Amino acid sequence: MAALLAIGNREVHAQMQTSSTERFERGLAILQRIGGENFDAPINSLAETSPDLSRFTVEYPYGDVLSRPGLDLTLRQLCTVSMLLADGNAQPQLKFHMAGYLNAGGRPETLLELLFISVAILGFPSTVNAVGLVRAVFSERGMELEPFAPVTDDGTMRSQTGSATLRALTAGDVTAYFNAFETASPDLARLSVEFAFGEALARDGLDPRAKLLAIISMLAANGNRAAALRLHLGGALAAGVTREEIIEVLIQLSVCCGFPAALNAFSVAKEVFSGQTNLPRTETLPFTRSEGRIERRERGRATLVQTSGAPGNAVINSFNDVAPDLGRMIVEHSYGEIFCRDGIDLKTRELTTCAALAALGTITAETPLRVHITAALNVGATRGEIIETFVNLAPYCGYPAVQHATSIAAEEFAKHG
């Protein structure tokens, strides 16, 4: 305790002296605001197995962290949803906190905007899985989903838009960040600007500060994203997010993702804070006219025909009730810009995709894994090649992940006779 006083952290000292009862009562009040009518159902269920963990769940996450005054509760819930999106295995908790975001005063359309941020930062599996949870939350509350109107431009200004968005959302040595991979893959650098920043992150439905806190939450929760996290922390400071707000988000990370993730993110934040006054704003990158949407869409549809035998209309239309642009992005970007590339053949692409999804090993990766196992078969991969792809992962991902992926493959093989 003397060490805490020696560094002048009396706030922490006082909080540690707060009784367990006070922390529990404070946490219960916050949980009730977030959880609504049946706010205590999860902790009551947990108490049947472990009363102590049930009590800890109220005292620390809600009584110690979410009750802190440094960040508005609505923003806290936005960050919680963002962190759980990155987790990939916390669907019940993600759904609970999506509803909690609305209970805390959040706007319904913000949950839809988070899906587009997720596309850029986390990829399509996490995003597509979350769509079903958003639908369920809205349905259970008797709310009408107001789908976003699809974009109407021809898509040829993506490079310019991406450059402007990159400048708005980052600060620091962006040149060094891009140089680390641009020499090996100029196309990856181009797509990073055109798609990630020029489409997914360029949307204006979220306040820039909230968008940056969501991005920071996803990157910090994802882990091992120090370079990107550093740039977006700098961008947040440049956009008016305070150090105190960032610190609150990273403290909250300890609740959703554990202390190791929080400590790693704090080490990056400390570095950014120490050089705050010397952070250069991102320069506007040179840009050229981008290829139009029609060309990308037609190429994506043609690729889908090869891998799935379907032209892609079902994919494009499957999100019309939520955000039509999500389906369009899957076809135009995933298939019209990535899978159509001729650097490797389609069979190899499908096998490597299966490997990547199996290595992720998350719930959000299971449905896409099934899709790509079928696609691998469609483009000429044998069942043996698919299984060997999974077995090859064992030294790197562990046997449980490989066993699970192989079980999924066996189920898909059975469907094909």
pLDDT of residue 8: 45
Please give the full DSSP string across 266-286, using - where no structure is assigned. HHHHHHHHHTGGGPPBPPPPP
The CA distance from 166 to 396, in Å, is: 34
Ranges in the chain, pLDDT < 70 = 1-18, 277, 282-287
* Neighbour tally for 247: CB within 10 Å: 16
Q: Which residue has the tokens 């043609």?
A: 302
Structure confidence by residue, pLDDT tens digits, 123-143 = 999 999 999 999 999 999 999
Supply angle C-alpha 275, 278, 280, rounded to 5: 120
pLDDT of residue 287: 64
Element (H, E) at 127: helix 124-140
Element (H, E) at 3: helix 2-6
pLDDT of residue 159: 92
* Neighbour tally for 382: CB within 10 Å: 11
pLDDT of residue 2: 44
Q: Which residue has the tokens 């110690």?
A: 64
pLDDT of residue 285: 64
pLDDT of residue 7: 45
Both structure tokens of 382: 């044998």
pLDDT of residue 4: 44
Q: Which residue has the tokens 């706007």?
A: 107
